[in-house]
């Protein structure tokens, strides 16, 4: 299917939206309520475009492409509407970009920058709302919420935990957890999906990420989550070779087993990498106390004990347990050791325990 965007001839697949076609071709169209993993939204009007022969402006995130369509993404009319959207969003709440955890990674800030908005033309005085710090992993700042609905859609439709929803009516409408409880007292399972999709600083992670590290200061390294056999693809963010935070890898998310999502372990359980309590050498017991030993000493000790048990009680007195946290090749090698070297089929795996 062929269409024209900003004078460029574009080829795309039927069923795509204008926003998807534009982004595939490197054309900037902002979006606040739309997120690729959440699908069509059409709530915020940040993405409006002009279409030749169509009255009014259309939401690029919710309008499918048509053959021969002629679209403009940056006419004065489009920019005026976008400016109004951003100014209204910035006029409410308390957007303090200087100290905001999301600064540099905030889609509203980016829109304001692209439109050259230095301060909103309108400002409504509202009393600051207290932070919700009740959760072990997530901080909620209602003052920065733009009610885009991404977190609600993610919690309801992606992870299907059904904790977040819109509550109250009119000006009082807001995102609530369960029956408007603090997040830490709600049924939230701390998957962190809402944080990952939030376009602004209304939902942020606690822990090292809040230790004055800007998102753009970190280096992302893609890894496979070490916690279970699903194989979730994670971006580990580090600064100066120290772990800061992890998030699901969203590049080519359709091809990943986790489809851009994570559970509590992948999201919050990886700071052990820098833990001072982490074992860095084998321990053996001497005089009743565990002390560090060399690998040669530890392996000789274990081999000697396994051999002794086999000689005294037979090979089936031994059992070998392996783990979902190691690779298939390592699991294969361990069962080979059990069967071929020691002669027992007593092999099991932590996923069954």
129: which DSSP letter? P
Q: Judged by CB under 6 A, does residue 246 bind ligand SF4? A: no
Q: Which residues pair with 174 in a beta bridge?
A: 167
Q: Judged by CB under 6 A, does residue 27 bind ligand SF4? A: no
Helix (H) / strand (E) containing 223: strand 219-224
89: which DSSP letter? H
Q: Classify strands 70-72 and 2-5 as parallel, antiparallel or unpaired.
A: parallel
Q: Judged by CB under 6 A, does residue 294 bind ligand SF4? A: no
Give the span between the Cα atoms of 137 and 28, in whole angstroms.
33
Q: Judged by CB under 6 A, does residue 154 bind ligand SF4? A: yes
Dihedral sign (CA 115, 118, 122, 128): positive
Q: Which of 49, 51, 61, 188 binds ligand FES (CB under 6 A)?
A: 61
- As measured in angstroms, the least distance from the Cβ of 221 to ligand FES is 30
Closest CA to 193 of 142, 247, 243, 134: 247
Q: Which of 5, 18, 22, 46 binds ligand FES (CB under 6 A)?
A: 46
Q: Which of 13, 75, 80, 96 binds ligand SF4 (CB under 6 A)?
A: 96
Q: Which of 27, 38, 47, 263 binds ligand FES (CB under 6 A)?
A: 47
Q: Say if residues 273 and 243 touch (Cβ distance below 8 Å).
A: yes
Q: Classify strands 164-167 and 58-59 as parallel, antiparallel or unpaired.
A: unpaired
Three-class DSSP category at 164: strand
- As measured in angstroms, the least distance from the Cβ of 15 to ligand FES is 17
- As measured in angstroms, the least distance from the Cβ of 42 to ligand FES is 5
Q: Hey, how many other C-beta atoms are within 10 angstroms of the C-beta on 85?
A: 21
Q: Judged by CB under 6 A, does residue 97 bind ligand SF4? A: yes
Nearer to ligand FES, 85 or 139 (CB): 85
Q: Judged by CB under 6 A, does residue 49 bind ligand SF4? A: no
Which residue matches tokens 């690998």? 295
Q: Which of 5, 18, 21, 41 binds ligand FES (CB under 6 A)?
A: 41
Give the span between the Cα atoms of 315 and 144, in whole angstroms.
64
Q: Which of 3, 32, 164, 338 binds ligand FES (CB under 6 A)?
A: 32
At 261, list the tokens: 């999502």
Nearer to ligand FES, 153 or 191 (CB): 153
Q: Judged by CB under 6 A, does residue 164 bind ligand SF4? A: yes
Q: Hey, how many other C-beta atoms are within 10 angstroms of the C-beta on 351?
A: 10
Q: Judged by CB under 6 A, does residue 59 bind ligand FES? A: yes
Residue 175's binding partner among ligand FES, ligand SF4, none (Cβ under 5 to 8 angstroms by kind) is ligand SF4
User: Please, what's the b/e burial string for 306-323 (b: 16 or more CB within 10 A of its CB; e: otherwise)?
Assistant: beeebeeeebeebebebe
Q: Say if residues 267 and 246 touch (Cβ distance below 8 Å).
A: yes
Q: Judged by CB under 6 A, does residue 317 bind ligand SF4? A: no
Q: Hey, how many other C-beta atoms are within 10 angstroms of the C-beta on 336?
A: 11
Residue 34's binding partner among ligand SF4, ligand FES, none (Cβ under 5 to 8 angstroms by kind) is ligand FES
* Binding segment toward ligand FES, per CB under 6 A, in 32-40, 155-163, 205-213, 289-297: 32-40
Nearer to ligand FES, 5 or 190 (CB): 5
Q: Judged by CB under 6 A, does residue 194 bind ligand SF4? A: yes
Q: Judged by CB under 6 A, does residue 132 bind ligand FES? A: no
Closest CA to 197 of 260, 268, 254: 260
* Binding segment toward ligand SF4, per CB under 6 A, in 43-51, 200-208, 321-329, 342-350: 200-208
User: Phi/psi zone of residue 338: left (φ > 0), alpha (ψ -120 to 50 degrees), beta?
Assistant: alpha
Q: Which residues bind ligand FES (CB under 6 A)?
A: 31-34, 41-47, 59, 61
Give residues in contact with ligand SF4 (CB under 6 A).
95-97, 100, 102-103, 106, 108-109, 144-151, 154-155, 159, 161, 163-164, 175, 188-194, 197-198, 200-203
């Amino acid at each position: 299917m062929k269409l024209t965007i900003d004078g460029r001839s574009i080829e795309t697949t039927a069923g795509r939206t204008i926003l998807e076609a534009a982004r595939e071709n490197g054309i900037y169209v902002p979006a606040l309520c739309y997120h690729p993993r959440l699908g069509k939204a059409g709530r915020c009007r940040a993405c409006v475009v002009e279409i030749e022969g169509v009255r009014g402006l259309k939401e690029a995130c919710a309008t499918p492409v048509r053959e021969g369509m002629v679209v403009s993404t940056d006419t004065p009319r489009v920019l005026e509407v976008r400016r109004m959207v951003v100014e209204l969003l910035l006029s409410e709440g308390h957007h303090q970009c200087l100290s905001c955890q999301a600064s540099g990674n905030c889609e509203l800030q980016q829109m304001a920058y692209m439109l050259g908005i230095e301060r909103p033309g309108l400002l409504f005085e509202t009393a600051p709302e207290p932070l919700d710090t009740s959760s072990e992993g997530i901080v909620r700042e209602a003052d920065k919420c733009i009610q885009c609905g991404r977190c609600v859609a993610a919690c309801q439709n992606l992870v299907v935990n059904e904790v977040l929803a819109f509550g109250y009516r009119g000006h009082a409408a807001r995102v609530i957890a369960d029956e408007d409880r603090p997040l830490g007292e709600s049924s939230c399972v701390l998957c962190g999906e809402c944080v990952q999709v939030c376009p602004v600083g209304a939902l942020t992670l606690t822990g090292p990420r809040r230790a004055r590290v800007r998102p753009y200061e970190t280096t992302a390294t893609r890894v496979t989550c070490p916690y279970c056999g699903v194989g979730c693809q994670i971006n580990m963010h580090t600064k100066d070779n120290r772990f800061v935070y992890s998030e699901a890898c969203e590049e080519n998310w359709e091809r990943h087993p986790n489809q851009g999502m994570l559970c509590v372990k992948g999201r919050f359980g990886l700071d052990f990498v820098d833990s001072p309590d982490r074992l860095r050498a084998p321990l053996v017991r001497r005089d009743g106390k565990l002390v560090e030993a060399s690998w040669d000493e530890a392996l000789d000790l274990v081999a000697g004990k396994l051999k002794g048990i086999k000689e005294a009680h037979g090979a089936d007195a031994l059992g070998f347990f392996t783990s979902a946290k190691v690779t298939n090749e390592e699991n294969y090698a361990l069962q080979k050791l059990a069967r071929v070297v020691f002669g027992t089929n007593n092999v099991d795996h932590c996923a069954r325990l």
